[in-house]
Structure 1
Amino acid sequence: MSDLVVRPIDRADLSRLLALDVHLDPDDARCPPDVAVRMLDRLLRSEGSAVLVGAIGDALVTTCTLVVIPNLTRGGQPYALIEDVVTHADHRGARYGRAVLRAAVERAWEAGCYKVMLMTGSTKPSTLAFYAAAGFAQSKTGFQVRRTAVRRE
């Protein structure tokens, strides 16, 4: 894993990020490049938030999005949400996903967050074990409302 570099995304990485996202859900609708540019700019204007990528040379092999959310409880400490955790199928099991999650959690602590949350729709034991091995505890009950049907794994 010594050749993996975890860093914030650069706009020049965007097309490679969109290609990596296929490994999250091959059947999911793709984000058009012009929309991706607007969404990335919008996300990066949110203080503390980031799209982190794990790169080996020019190849993006893993990513996650960290969103820091202002908060009026907990003494005004923000909290963070991690979403869109993706590792290229050819690189799973190499601890690259764990490395990008560790970097996201470190950024959240630097932003003063009191907690970092993530949710998964997966019930696969391997996915749940991955998050547990990355230091996340399955300790809350999640609810959601969606405009579209929930995907099942």
Structure 2
Amino acid sequence: MMKSHSDDVLVRRLEQADSENLIALYNELTFGPKTARMRRVAAVMAHPGTRIYGAETQGRIIAMVTLHILPNVTYDGRPYALIENVATAAEFRKRGIGRSVMQAAIDAAWAEDAYKIMLMTGQRRGARGFYEALGFDCEDKFGMVLRRA
């Protein structure tokens, strides 16, 4: 899938060759230690049902989203989708690029007949309005996390 966001930004499904660029974005996304590594990016990209979409300009990946399509028993066996690791390089924010990358993931989930798309966003990130503008809401579900110490 290839979409042009503007004359100089291309939104597409990312490949292993994009891994080095992705590591920089993963590390920008992370508040904690910068631990993104090539083998970890490769493992995520190789996982069945998982794909990463990104925006590229001048050979640099400037935004990304990871989409997981997961099998399901209910809803006639229709899968559900989980979005994770949404990031746009700081100098490219507020230009609609993140929205374009998210739309590519949303379109892909609907094309796989997912009955819902879920995501969680950190309360300190200030991104809730961004997701709400894309149609996500937090009215019928609570996002909860259990982290291993």
TM-score of the pair, normalised by structure 2: 0.88
1:6 correspondence with 2:11: yes
- Per the alignment, residue 130 of structure 2 pairs with 130
- How far off is 1:121 after superposition? 1.6
2: CA distance, partners of 1:108 / 1:65: 11
DSSP 3-state at the match of 1:67: strand
1: CA distance, partners of 2:44 / 2:130: 28
1:71 correspondence with 2:76: no
1:19 correspondence with 2:24: yes
- How far off is 1:123 after superposition? 4.0
- Per the alignment, residue 97 of structure 1 pairs with 98
- How far off is 1:127 after superposition? 1.2
1:34-71 deviation digits (Å, cap 9, x = unpaired): 33323322x2xx13x31111111311110000000100
- How far off is 1:132 after superposition? 1.1
- How far off is 1:14 after superposition? 0.2
1:87 correspondence with 2:91: no
TM superposition outliers: structure 1 runs of 4+ over 6 Å: none
Q: How many residues align?
A: 143
- How far off is 1:30 after superposition? 1.4
> 8 Å contact 2:82–2:118 — kept in the other structure?
yes
DSSP 3-state at the match of 2:127: helix
1: CA distance, partners of 2:105 / 2:78: 17
- How far off is 1:26 after superposition? 4.7
- Per the alignment, residue 37 of structure 1 pairs with 42
**Aligned residues with identical type, % of pairs:** 34
Query: For residue 83 of structure 2, what is the amino acid of its counterpart?
Result: I
> 8 Å contact 2:15–2:45 — kept in the other structure?
no
- The farther-off stretch of 139-148 and 29-38 is 29-38
- How far off is 1:135 after superposition? 2.1
Query: For residue 28 of structure 1, what is the amino acid of its counterpart?
Result: P
Q: Where is the strand percentage greater, Structure 1 or Structure 2?
A: 2
Listed as ranges, the gaps of 5+ residues in structure 1 are 149-153
Query: For residue 22 of structure 1, what is the amino acid of its counterpart?
Result: N
